[in-house]
Structure 1
Amino acid sequence: KKKKTEESTGGLTMDLNLDITPDAYAEIIFDVKAGDIIRGYGRGDIQLQINTRGEFNMFGVYEFERGFYNFTLYNIINKEFSINKGSRISWYGDPYGGLLSLVASYRQTTSLAPIVSNQAVANSPGLRRKYPIEVMLKLDGPMLSPQIGFDIAAKDLPRNVVVDELGTTVKLEFEFDAFKSKLDEQELKRQVFSLIVLRRFSPIGESINTSGSIYNSVSELLSNQLSNFLTQVDSNLEIDLDLGTLDQEAFNTFQLRLSYSFLNGRLRVTREGTMGGDQNQQSAANLIGEWTVDYVLTPDGKFRVKMYSR
């Protein structure tokens, strides 16, 4: 509905009442160059007041049914978060003064091995398996300067995971809850960064060499991006590539761990070791690396056969 009112001074005021339905597409652009944009579909009742004196007021609530938020960081990282249903933006006059109450999630699959308390069993196949993890992004407050909060959630974790031939189990839900209880605000942000950029958890308290932290971070990012790209070729293939540092030596000599699963995951063949280096100094053992063949005999994983070369 539109309502026009002539004022005594000759000005004009328009009241626009918008009934927004879920089939209407909406965008809110914070930074077009960085791609910092909220977009999606939702519903709401919005009232716009506009007059010829240049005054513009906006009232009402817009609630998302579905949508996406492009989260940008340092103009380098750009990740698409899915906006949770029920997130909303409320206006009480100033169009730029809208209040956000928005929760969005970024889904990732990763191993929980780096965060278990007993790192002696971290390399077991059950712990190296990848599970669905959600990074939750919360925006609350003024639209142009909201408070930003994070959380990490894990769903559908198995109750127990067998980690050795003796049938020893690890309670993954308990391990994840214990891990989260140790996170202060700074450590939580570090884990969020690790999940959305490196696609993995980082051990709590992992020391960083400040003199080479920038180069090491970029090297780690490059190593993980290459590993993830190669892994996407085949869902049964898992590749961990470690360049170490960003120098010529890193590209001549690097650590490579390659695993391939057969028979729906019951048979797993793994090769790990150093690749590259001086061709004259490379021995047959270095080229072959260390091989492990792991075969699960029973569906619960309690009995298995392992063969390896060292």
Structure 2
Amino acid sequence: MVGDLMKSRGNGDMRFFIDETLDFNLFGNYQITSGEYLFTLKDFINKKFNVKPGGTITWFGDPYNAKLDLNAYYPLKTSLYNIMPSIERDNWTHKSNVHVDIHLQNDLMNPDIEFDISLPKAEETAKQTVKNLIYNEEAKNQQVFSLLILNKFIPENQNIISENTSRTNGATTSEVLSNQLGNMISSFTDEFEIGFNYSPGDSISDDELSIVMSTQQFNDRLLINTNLGVAPSNALNKDPNSFIGDVDVEYKLSRDGNLRLHAFNESNEYDLSNQSQSRYTQGVGAYYKQSFNSFGELFCEMTNIFRRKSNKCNQCDEPKSTRECP
């Protein structure tokens, strides 16, 4: 995909054919559950996007002529200071969670690309400000490439080209070194993926260092993702939450992964209007996911979870006209 690289996990019903002339044909629909998309642009951008579940790749014969439809995001933390009204800027020196979103569709080898920007944890004031800022494609792309190259927003009347070259090189170099260090450590073990994120600060925001680790244990039934780090405070930064301690744990209760337990601890976005705000939000719960063609099929699948293997309802796989679930 134009020099880019994608790797993913997923499932689907695929059919492979090789004829007498050794021509290879591929048919089927592949559904993505997780993955990474490496977006590159000459020597300026080399960013790893997280692929969201639900994307699809569909083949109709030619392996290189598939249709793609997926969404991914590049997460970063940066200050909203530069895009806020001047009267409010001093209240926005802390760093916020920002996603650069990307939508890839149509041809696999040369997809149409659409960008967007979202603030997953921010208050509505901040979300509306960003929405007003990216009112057209030119303004949106300007901020997207500023986030990808400089790791920050730029004022509305400023061009990204006018930014200090040393700042651009510093942001790019720090990310390259962080990625290389993470890849080197991860190469020593197959059980853990480890990454280092270093975000250089400036006169407004602080330096920030975090360690990201993910692992899958017990035959991929236990999934753990962590993001631990620290951001030193300065005189301008009013955010007291200098420690980062995000943990996300999932356990697959069923072998197919449809029934899961989920627990998490995540840092809250700093809210100026809520001085009694807790530093973290915790939660625990269970969820079940199942595709079905009728309520009878759904009931059959759900009851099978709690049955012994010898007593499972086999009618769930039969045609609708003959299916009977107890």
Identify if the C-alpha distance between structure 1 residues 299 and 148 changes in structure 2 by more than 3 Å, giving closer, same or farther.
Answer: closer
1:157 aligns with 2:128: no
1:190 aligns with 2:142: yes
1:232 aligns with 2:205: no
Q: Which residue of 2 aligns with 1:5?
A: none
1:231-270 to structure 2, matched below 5 A, reads 231-232=207-208, 235-237=230-232, 259=235, 264=240
Q: 1:299 aligns with which of 275, 280, 302?
A: 275
Cα shift readout 1:214-261 (whole Å, capped 9, x = no counterpart): xx55323135467934713583426xxxxxxxxxxxxxxxxxxx6487
Cα shift readout 1:133-183 (whole Å, capped 9, x = no counterpart): 111111111111111110111122135xxxxxxxxxxx3333233223x2x
1:94 aligns with 2:62: yes
Instruction: Single out whichever of 223-232 and 41-50 deviates more from structure 2.
Output: 223-232
Q: What's the % identity of the aligned pairs?
A: 27
Q: Which residue of 1 aligns with 2:127?
A: 173
Q: Which residue of 1 aligns with 2:80?
A: 112
Contact 2:10 2:31 (C-alpha < 8 Å) held by counterparts = yes
Q: Which residue of 2 aligns with 1:136?
A: 101
Contact 2:58 2:67 (C-alpha < 8 Å) held by counterparts = yes
Q: Which residue of 1 aligns with 2:158?
A: 206
- Aligned pair count? 199
Q: CA deviation at 1:114?
A: 1.2
- Equivalent residue letter for 1:194: S
RMSD of aligned Cα (Å)? 3.1
Give distance in 2, aligned partners of 1:262 and 1:109. 15
Give distance in 2, aligned partners of 1:224 and 1:53. 51
Q: 1:103 aligns with which of 45, 66, 71?
A: 71
Q: Which residue of 2 aligns with 1:66?
A: 34
SS at match of 2:146: helix
SS at match of 1:95: coil
SS at match of 1:45: strand
Give distance in 1, aligned partners of 2:166 and 2:66. 40
Instruction: Single out whichever of 220-229 and 77-86 deviates more from structure 2.
Output: 220-229
- Equivalent residue letter for 1:201: F
Give distance in 2, aligned partners of 1:66 and 1:74. 26
Structure with the larger strand share: 1
In structure 1, stretches of 5+ residues that fail to align are 1-29, 160-170, 239-257, 267-295, 302-310
SS at match of 1:119: coil
Give distance in 2, aligned partners of 1:173 and 1:262. 20
Identify if the C-alpha distance between structure 1 residues 265 and 97 changes in structure 2 by more than 3 Å, giving closer, same or farther.
Answer: closer
Contact 2:93 2:236 (C-alpha < 8 Å) held by counterparts = no
In structure 2, stretches of 5+ residues that fail to align are 175-197, 202-206, 210-228, 243-271, 278-326
Q: 1:121 aligns with which of 60, 83, 88?
A: 88
TM-score (normalizing by structure 2):
0.54
Give distance in 2, aligned partners of 1:217 and 1:199. 13
Give distance in 1, aligned partners of 2:158 and 2:117. 19
Q: Which residue of 2 aligns with 1:254?
A: none
Structure with larger Rg: 1
Identify if the C-alpha distance between structure 1 residues 265 and 68 changes in structure 2 by more than 3 Å, giving closer, same or farther.
Answer: closer
Instruction: Single out whichever of 50-59 and 171-180 deviates more from structure 2.
Output: 171-180
Q: Which residue of 2 aligns with 1:78?
A: 46
Q: CA deviation at 1:264?
A: 3.5
Q: CA deviation at 1:72?
A: 0.7
TM-score (normalizing by structure 1):
0.56
Q: CA deviation at 1:186?
A: 2.1
Identify if the C-alpha distance between structure 1 residues 53 and 174 changes in structure 2 by more than 3 Å, giving closer, same or farther.
Answer: closer
- Equivalent residue letter for 1:175: T
Q: CA deviation at 1:41?
A: 0.8
Q: Which residue of 2 aligns with 1:220?
A: 167
SS at match of 2:275: coil
Give distance in 2, aligned partners of 1:87 and 1:228. 30
